[in-house]
Amino acid sequence: MNATLRRLSTVVMVMFLALMVSTSWIQFVAAGELNDHPGNVRGIYSALSRDRGPIVVRGGEAIVTSVPVDDNFKYQRTYSEGDGGAASVYAPVTGYFAVNGTVTGMERYANSYLAGEDDSLWLDRLQNLVTGEEAQGSSVELTIDPEVQKAAWDALGDNIGAAVAIDPKTGAILAMVSKPSYDPNTLAVHNSGEATAASEALINNKPQVNSIGGEERLSPYGPTINRTINAVYPPGSTFKLLTAAAAIEYEGKTPETSIPAEDVYQLPGTTGDGGRVQNYGGQKCSDTGEMPLKDAMRISCNTAFLALANEVGKDGMQQMFQDFGFTESIDIPMSTSVGAYPGLSDSATDDSAARIALSGMGQGDLRMTPLQVAMMSAAIANDGDLMEPYLIQSVRDSDLELVSQTKPSRYKSPFSSSTADALTEMMVEVVRDGSGTGAQISGVDVAGKTGTAEDDPRSPTLWFTSFAPANDPQVAVAVVLENEGQSTDESTGGALASPIAAQIMQAAISK
């Protein structure tokens, strides 16, 4: 009998031990994984039943709030007070918090602050535990300037594309607009089925873009994609800034250096018409076949920059691309897409001399985000020092006490201040008397560069990047119009994108 009891006691002890180990494992070791599991709806209920912190822009305007409601979730996440039109202006930045578990944009990447769960808020959580008060999230203040944001939104009009503006001295992002956009309020409803249906509809609603030959083509990006940081395009002639920077920095060129500027350029290692590249519209750059670098930049001579990239060579061009940090993702805090350059990415593996030369004018396998194109101008504007882009200005707890504040930091230094001065000189001439006159602002010297990028089978993608004032830069801008070109003088980056950039810069420097 005693032996039987001992065996039974042993079994019971083992069962209790197994239960304790299992419970401890679930509560401590596996807690994070279980909380993040998509099938765990308790986390969503808990998050939505909390007074989540607001997202505000410069000046204190709240563009995202939590409003008390009479349902199981207790609070309704609301964007621009429920105004769908106003909310769509900021949607690519704010993202949305959906009851089906989908969280995007700042709602996702600043979640620890908004939910009041960040490690820096431990004292607030302790006080709530002691007093029994309901936990409140912190407010997140963005660097976005509402006037610059609205100017960018209005200037883009009905175009498919994006615009981004940066303070080149700090890296603060002043505007971030992506079109088409969406109303995040339709995704924040407290009905999982409705939220899922609305999300799927947006994902599948890719806009039709212009195409070569008139065939129907859809954009690869839907409205929920933030085109400023997660869409990549051929940068076209805006990339000539990087080509020129490499030539000046590594090859000792100056704006006055005479460089080849033929009517037609035969890509190295090729023969026949397949390797022949002409200037835009078949135009002649120079009667002599040569011209100063500054004039080649001013009129955006393609053949000159093909030859220039070939002279710099693979090592120099790749090095400059990497020195800008374009092969790296940045947390702003949303994660940005990386650029593609021949030999430096899976999507651009062919780094033959022909592909390197073609990259000199921003074509071929080369791809960049609008933020990266703006970063080129920002580095030039800031004497060769590229500041790290960021979106969060500060965080304050529920008592409005400062929790954290972003300190500007240098991200990269791709070239010297003398190279920056030379590039600035050439960019000013582009706007003053070249391909970018549409970006002129009365009484202000503007530095800029146009771009018209072939994107077969779609129509050309149009670009403009710039900064102003040229002698004391306050804002750097990039504008992209996705497949809005028609290969005519009236539909180039200089004609259509530069006036948009001018309106954005005007809003920023008039403050």
Instruction: Give yes or no for a cis peptide into 92 (omega within 30° of 0).
Output: no
Strand order in the sheet with 475-481: 173-179, 161-166, 475-481, 458-468, 447-455
Q: Is residue 427 part of a domain?
A: yes
Of 156, 127, 121, the C-alpha closest to 139 is: 121
Confidence grade of residue 154 (pLDDT, cut at 50, 70, 90): very high
Residues in Cβ contact with 443 at an 8 Å cutoff, skipping those fewer than 6 apart: none
Residue 92's pLDDT is: 95
Which has the higher per-residue pLDDT, 411 or 492? 411
In a domain, 127, yes or no: no
Which pLDDT score, from 0 to 100, does residue 101 have? Answer: 85
DSSP conformation class of 29: I
Residue 451 β-bridge partners: 463
Averaged pLDDT score across all residues of the chain:
90
Res 347 pLDDT > 90: no
Structure tokens at 41: 């709806």
pLDDT for 122 beyond 50? no
pLDDT over threshold 60, residue 1: no
Region 349-355: mean pLDDT is 94
| CA distance to 27, 210, 213, 215, 462, per residue, from 459 (Å) | 56, 5, 9, 10, 9
pLDDT recorded at residue 460: 93
E strand or H helix at 306: helix 302-323
**Cβ(380)–Cβ(241) below 8 Å:** yes
Task: Kindly tell me if the per-residue pLDDT of 37 is higher than 70.
Answer: no
Q: How does DSSP assign 457-508, residue by residue?
A: TEEEEEEEEEEESTTS--EEEEEEETT---SSGGGSIIIIIHHHHHHHHHHH
List C-alpha distances in Å: 58 to 61, 91, 282, 409, 506.
7, 16, 47, 20, 18
- The predicted model gives 468-473 an average pLDDT of 97
Tell me the percentage of the chain whose pLDDT exceeds 90. 73
Q: Indicate the number of domains in the chain.
A: 1
Compute how many other C-beta atoms are within 10 angstroms of the C-beta atom of residue 186: 19
pTM of this structure = 0.90
**Per mean pLDDT, which range of 35-39, 153-157, 178-182, 243-247 is the poorest?**
35-39
Using CA atoms, how far apart are residues 63 and 264, in angstroms rounded to an integer? Answer: 53
Our CA angle for 93, 109, 90, nearest 5°, is 10
Whether 340 is in a domain gets the answer yes
Winning range, highest mean pLDDT, from 215-229, 270-284, 393-407: 215-229
Of 382, 390, 317, residue with least CA distance to 354: 317
Residue 485 lies in a domain: yes
| Pairing between β-strand 139-142 and β-strand 55-56 as defined by DSSP bridges | parallel
- pLDDT, average across residues 8-35: 71
- Taking CA atoms, 506 is separated from 210, 320, 380, in Å, by 30, 31, 19
Instruction: Please tell me the least confidently modeled range out of 161-165, 272-276, 421-425.
Output: 272-276
Distance CA 452, CA 367 (A): 13
Encode burial over 3-23: b for 16+ CB neighbours within 10 A, e otherwise.
eeeeeeeeeeeeeeeeeeeee
Greater confidence (506 vs 51) lies with 506
pLDDT in tens, 194-218: 999 999 999 889 999 999 888 899 9
Structure tokens belonging to residue 157: 């009009």
- Identify whether 128 is part of a domain: no
Q: What is the mean pLDDT of residues 339-364?
A: 94
Between 375 and 1, name the one with better pLDDT.
375
Chain segment 407-452, per-residue pLDDT in tens: 999 999 999 999 999 999 999 999 999 999 999 999 999 999 999 9
Higher pLDDT, 132 or 165: 165
Structural domain includes residue 16:
no
Strands (E), 197-300: 208-209, 217-218, 258-260, 264-266, 276-278, 290-292
The closest alpha carbon to 280, from 485, 464, 500, 431, belongs to 485
On the question of pLDDT at 128 being above 80, the answer is: no
Active site residue 139: no
User: Annotated catalytic residue: which of 237, 286, 377, 435?
Assistant: 237
**Paired residues of 478 in beta bridges:** 164, 465
Is pLDDT above 60 for 125? Answer: no
Question: Range of 268's domain?
Answer: 213-392+409-509
CATH number at residue 308: 3.40.710.10
pLDDT the model gives residue 476: 98
Domain annotation covers residue 230: yes
Listed in sequence order, the residues at least 6 apart from 350 whose beta carbon sits closer than 8 Å to its beta carbon are 342, 343, 365
Task: Kindly state whether residue 420 falls inside one of the protein's structural domains.
Answer: yes
